[in-house]
Amino acid sequence: MSDVTAAVAEYAAATGNQFGTVKMTKTSIKLEDGRTRHVVLRHAVSLRGGPHVELVQASPPIGPWAVAPTSSVLSYTVPDLARTPKSTKLARAGFRKIASNEDVSFWRGIGGLTIRLIESDAVARPGAAGPAPAASDLGPIMSLTLSPCAPDAFVATLSTLLGVAWDMRVFPMPYVFADGTSQVLDIIAYTSVSGPLYLAVETPHHAPLLPRYACSDRVTPIHYGYPTLDVASVERQFVAGGMSLVGRVPGMVGYYETPSGILIEAFNASLAG
């Protein structure tokens, strides 16, 4: 993202989640073409979790940080990066290593999905717990939803890589979009059966008429999900926090975007059952 300080403020205003102080880290990273580049990272981590949300601004925005606004990175800790079998599994699944150093490696594969493997000792820590959560705090992120062009292949790949078991359901959802148009979308949703962070693969995308949210061979739109018993109330909080409506199903789903382009969904907790 281009301004992590603004992105943190926007995310916090919308969700009530607290973040640690924005920190600066200087690192060297070997890119896919063999060149080693120096990068300055400015990043902040959510205080509640896990899972945690980490927002990152890179200068220059190269390699794994040169991604589409609606893309994201799945991050997994490993005890020993040089010896982890996860690297072999990623390579066998068609992922290629696009950047690495002694502490971290980034792999990109199906639909442009990027997976980060990072040594446990190198993980950015959120810092002190901070004050008690405000009434507006929606709690830790519960779900990460991906909307790929090839959902069946995507689900199969994640099953192989992560050992994910899935529950599949179809939801007829009468969406109303920001421009006032409406459309009933039969959402096919694959949801991982265990957390704490639930992965979901959904098709079609919630905003099929808007090109900037479209999937491609290189980009898979991703959004963060928070369950609630009162979707309308959270939607009002989103708007008060400066978010813009993308689409909604009244009483069931509210799908919004921060000014920095982060997509967040409030969904009725009954949909998670």
> Quick one: angle between helices 85-92 and 151-162, nearest 10?
160
CATH topology of domain 143-272: 2,3-Dihydroxybiphenyl 1,2-Dioxygenase; domain 1 (3.10.180)
Question: What would the DSSP string read from start to end of 93-156?
Answer: TT-EEEEE-SSEEEEE-GGG-EEEEEEGGGSPP--S--SPPPTT---S--EEEE--SSHHHHHH
pLDDT (0 to 100) of residue 213 = 78
pLDDT (0 to 100) of residue 69 = 55
Encoding tokens for residue 94? 């068609």
CATH architecture of 4-122: Roll (3.10)
pLDDT (0 to 100) of residue 219 = 86
pLDDT (0 to 100) of residue 132 = 62
Cα(83)–Cα(104) distance, integer angstroms: 12
Cα(22)–Cα(234) distance, integer angstroms: 26
- Please report, in tens digits, the pLDDT of each residue of the chain (273 residues total): 889 999 999 999 999 999 999 999 999 999 999 999 999 999 999 987 678 899 999 999 999 988 665 567 888 888 999 889 999 999 999 999 999 999 999 999 999 999 999 998 877 666 555 666 778 899 889 999 999 999 999 999 999 888 889 999 998 999 999 989 999 999 999 999 887 789 999 988 877 666 777 888 888 888 999 999 999 999 999 999 999 999 999 999 999 999 999 999 999 998 876
Taken as a whole, the chain contains a residue count of: 273
pLDDT (0 to 100) of residue 211 = 74
Listed in order, the ranges of the chain carrying CATH 3.10.180.10 are: 143-272
pLDDT (0 to 100) of residue 214 = 83
pLDDT (0 to 100) of residue 128 = 57
